[in-house]
Amino acid sequence: MDEVKLDGKVAIVTGAGRIGQEGKKRGIGAEIACQLARLGAHIVLNDYTASFDEMPGYELATSLELEGAADEVRSFGQKVIAINADVSNNE
Q: Per-residue pLDDT for the chain (91 aa), expressed as one digit of tens each? A: 577 899 999 999 998 887 776 666 678 898 999 999 999 999 999 998 765 566 566 677 788 888 989 999 999 999 999 998 888 877 6
* DSSP letter, residue 8: T
Predicted TM-score (pTM) of the model is 0.81
